[in-house]
Chain A
Amino acid sequence: MSWRRLLEPRFLLRVLRRLALRPRLRLALFTVLALAAVWIPLGQAGALNDFRDSHLLHSYEEAAARTVTEYGQLPLWTPWSCGGLFAWGNPQTRQASPTLLLSVLFGARRAEPLVLMLFLLLGMEGAFRYARLKAGNAVGALLVAPLFGLCGFGAQSWSLGWLYLLGFLLLPWVLWGTALAGRGRAIGAGAVALGFALMLGFGGTYPVPLAALLVGVEGGWALLTGPGPWRRRALALGTTAALTLGACVFRLWPIWETLQSGPRVMAGNPGHSLQKVAGMLFSFPGTGDKGGDGGLFFVGPGLVLLALPALLGRRSRFPVGMTVLCGWLATGYAAHPAPFAWLRALPIFETLRYPERFLFPCALFLAVTGAIGVGVLQVWLRRPRSPALTRWAPDLLGVVVLLCVVSGGAQVAAYARLAGRAPLVALPSRVDQPFAQARGNRWAQGHLLALNRGSISCGEGFPVPMSPRLSGALAQEEWLEAGAGTVRRTDWTPNRIELEVTASRPARLVVNQNWHPGWRSSIGEVGSAEGLLSVQLPAGTQPVTLRFLPRSALGGLAVSLLAILALGLLSRLSLGGFPALALAGVPLFGWALIALLWKEPAQPPVLTNPDRSPLRVETLPPGVKSIQARFESHLELVAAGVPSAPDARGEVPLELYWRVTGPVPRTVGIFVHLTGPGKRKSKDHALIGGTWFFHDAPRGVLLRDAFAVNPHDWEAGEWQVQVGLWHASGDGSRLVPLLPSGEAAEESRLVVGRFVVPPRP
């Protein structure tokens, strides 16, 4: 066969079609591409990623693999992080996923690039299936699938240690599944349920809510435009939703419980200009770790060229609309109007910090549009409408293929460049010593794990329920309070601690780890000693075994297994019928039963100010100044505490006492102006005590908002403290306060006190 024949467009098209339609051939192509893309990460395996987030996040996986291989336990509790925490309840861990097996087999560090390759492969195959379904064109789907899979964000996630964000690569699978489920296909329900379960098990902070939103839109589209009676479509999608919920309970339940105890709050108005967003998608990433944001989601401009012909057809309405919507959302608060701001008004979505992550789905919908564009070109090729097109059409196909090859090559190169940004150092040698908590350091936790030391220093994305009594300088990690006897550790594992206790009187056994309601004891009553795990024991000498058996993980696992069993049975039923819906409801009924019969105490949130003082107070403390100002929107500033001078540490602690009496817009925040000799400083904050927006704060109670300033480098003299409320994440306007006299305050702010900064020594 001559080279000329190989390059002949119609022959090329035949080859591409064969590659696209034969799964083995297609997977072989994707595997080779994935191997090429992760070649650099594969060569970096076994090193320690020294980026701070990687230290924190990878330590969970390392600890999980250690829990399985060295202790033969399911890694539910990790004592190495934050003084001990429920690992499945933390949305950032990825250990509740089958990929843990790779970490167990190869070691957590060495498994990382293999996980990356696996997800790349899944992403490309998923994108192929979804694009083919949407475009009705296998060749186009084959050409664009790698362009989505190789989106730069995967490599970026690798280099920063955010591996759990690879869950985004499962997005095409759940969308494909939703579209098929809307057509009554059971395999669609399976893809959605298992896709979400895997995404959640792998850590789903962003992929899961974003995918849920997009699946909702895809489901709505399927309901409106799918074939057959709409009732059947609705039943099929309802069944899929129920099964998906059931399949995800193993992780949803622990995460829900954890976030009830430590609610994540996110303020601020993140946003990006359209130019910056376009740069993230289409500009080639720069070199080094200071390469900036350009190309972080690199898919290359070639994809836009492929997508252009699609604009001529009606088939592209949905993907084009979704591309625009996702791109718009990615601009965050910078757009006017800003759909991201509307989204942040919803539960769960209110905790999202990075709008640009919508660029990942944006890349997918752009790829689907590109596949439709290729299809349009193919139609032109087959049925040219003009003599000129007849002449040029074959060459046009050649150009398209060349464009895809060049784009794919550029993406592999961009991938390598982004992956090469990982700051790698030698893996620390392990020190064989008994486990103990250390003060630790969350910025370098990988080094602490090698020493078999827990890190009390914790930098999670939510307020982890932690004991302030945790210590990294104890001679013994388990003891009896008030010197009531002795404790000897007989066996230690992450999820089970065996002790020999001799108590001269009834006493409390305390363990230097955080309490969680999932801990059980072979004897006595488990409880919290100022947040530490403790057991009230009778007098005498006895063996005590503490086990971590949380209801939400074990019960949730049973529910999810039931849901997977139901999925298996679903193939015998029609997805759009009531029997299938009833079957999908069985795991959820089981969930309700477990929740009802297996009682476990709740872990209430610890509500404190950043200085650890309580947020709610019954009465005003002595010495504070009464203000009694009423703002519009059901808010009262009751009193304020301003000391006359800095304290012994050189700080000026400030207190504002608020009362919320009714609904308040989420946009309302506090501004604090400190006006002194010739200068003005500010201490604005959107949340009371770093915990609640006024919108979410409890009603009718006294709330103490404590914060401080350190004026060590301020001008000496008197400083006035002025306070007001404004629409911090809205139009910036101020709320008008009314004084007890009924007068409005000047410039809508209140003078609440003064302090004097002494001259510098």
Chain B
Amino acid sequence: MNRLPLLIIAVALLVAMGRVMFPGESPPRALAEADRQALGRLAAQAEPGLRLEARRNFPGDAWSQDDDYAARERKWAMEQAARRGVQPSEVFRAVDQELRASAPVAPPRQAGAAPCKPRPFYD
């Protein structure tokens, strides 16, 4: 009887551990190299427009502009991933490869991001 609580605890912990070990959702397919390159070019074409919108939203604020751009890029990447039935990481991989292939990257495109300087208020 004294061991029953310990047994309950052990079983509960084992159930918890067993449940987290279940395989997750299987990831969607990866892109072929040529498709990735094409997607990278598409990202390069989209960048100036997205940067212009970000600049208008946060004039004179380098970090906020880049952060706003990143939010727009993320949305774009998610849409591209959903359209192609691939993981978003494949889209970011395409962007990364294209930037390296285009170095040195000329404005308005950027190969980096402004140092983090968060805005001091949110409310």
Contacts and interface: CB of A to CB of B under 8 A. Distances in A.
B16 A113 contact: yes
Contacts of A612: 62, 114-115
Contacts of A268: 120-123
A67 B110 CA distance: 29
Residue picked from A106, A113, A442, A650, most chain B C-beta under 10 Å: A442
A163 to B, nearest CB: 14
B60 A707 contact: yes
A42 to B, nearest CB: 4
B22 A45 contact: yes
Nearest to A38: B16
A756 B17 CA distance: 67
Interface string B79-108: 000000001110011011001101111000
A42 B113 contact: no
Contacts of A207: none
Q: For chain A, which range describes its interface: under 10, 10 to 19, 20 to 34, or 35 or more residues? A: 35 or more
Interface stretch (A24-32, A313-321, A390-398, A656-664): A24-32
B115 A468 contact: yes
A561 interface: no
A690 B120 contact: yes
B19 A42 contact: yes
Contacts of B67: 442, 457, 459
Interface in B1-47: 2, 4-6, 8-9, 12-13, 15-17, 19-28, 30
Nearest to A440: B113
Residue picked from A114, A439, A442, A687, most chain B C-beta under 10 Å: A439
B106 to A, nearest CB: 11
A470 B112 contact: yes
Contacts of A611: 60-62
Contact of A24 (B5, B71, B118): B5
B92 A457 contact: no
A31 B10 CA distance: 9
Nearest to A107: B20
A610 to B, nearest CB: 4
Given A450-B89, A457-B66, A611-B62, A267 B121 contact: yes
Contact of A710 (B16, B59, B73): B59
Residue picked from B5, B20, B103, most chain A C-beta under 10 Å: B20
A431 B93 contact: yes
A25 B5 contact: yes
A114 B13 CA distance: 9
Contacts of A466: 115-116
B1 to A, nearest CB: 10
Nearest to B26: A426
Interface string A650-692: 1111100000000000000000000000000000001100100
Interface in A463-491: 463-475
Nearest to A429: B27
B115 A464 contact: yes
A461 interface: yes
Nearest to A111: B20
A106 B19 CA distance: 12
Contacts, number: 228
A516 interface: no
A429 B87 contact: yes
Interface in A63-110: 82, 106, 110
B122 A353 contact: yes
> Which secondary structure dominates where chain A touches chain B?
loop
Contacts of A690: 61, 117, 119-120
Contact of A463 (B12, B77, B116): B116
B107 to A, nearest CB: 10
A270 interface: yes
Contacts of B13: 31
Contacts of B99: 438-439, 472-473
B20 A429 contact: no
B123 to A, nearest CB: 4
A705 to B, nearest CB: 11
Given A428-B87, A473-B105, A710-B59, A451 B118 contact: no
A448 interface: yes
B123 A451 contact: no
B113 A458 contact: yes
A429 B16 contact: no
Given A111-B20, A113-B16, A31 B8 contact: yes
Interface in A7-61: 22, 24-25, 27-28, 31-32, 34-35, 38-39, 42-43, 45-47, 52
A610 B16 contact: no
A22 B5 CA distance: 10
A255 B65 CA distance: 28
A683 to B, nearest CB: 9
A438 B43 CA distance: 15
Given A28-B8, A466-B116, A690-B120, A710 B55 contact: yes
Given A610-B62, A708-B59, A427 B24 contact: yes
Contacts of B56: 650, 710, 712
Nearest to A462: B118
A673 to B, nearest CB: 17
B40 to A, nearest CB: 12
29 contacts: A24-B2, A24-B9, A28-B4, A28-B5, A28-B8, A31-B9, A35-B12, A35-B15, A43-B22, A270-B122, A427-B24, A438-B96, A439-B110, A447-B89, A451-B92, A451-B96, A456-B113, A458-B113, A461-B118, A463-B117, A472-B112, A473-B104, A611-B62, A652-B59, A653-B60, A686-B121, A690-B61, A707-B60, A708-B59
Given A457-B70, A462-B116, 12 more contacts: A25-B5, A42-B20, A110-B20, A429-B27, A429-B30, A453-B96, A472-B100, A609-B60, A611-B60, A708-B61, A709-B59, A709-B60
Which 3 pairs between the two chains have the least Cβ-Cβ distance?
Answer: A708-B60, A46-B24, A268-B121
Interface of B: 2, 4-6, 8-9, 12-13, 15-17, 19-28, 30, 55-56, 59-64, 66-67, 70-71, 73-74, 77, 87-89, 92-93, 95-96, 99-100, 102-105, 110-123
Interface of A: 22, 24-25, 27-28, 31-32, 34-35, 38-39, 42-43, 45-47, 52, 82, 106, 110-111, 113-114, 117, 265-271, 353, 425-429, 431, 438-444, 447-448, 450-451, 453, 456-475, 531, 606, 608-612, 649-654, 686-687, 690, 706-710, 712
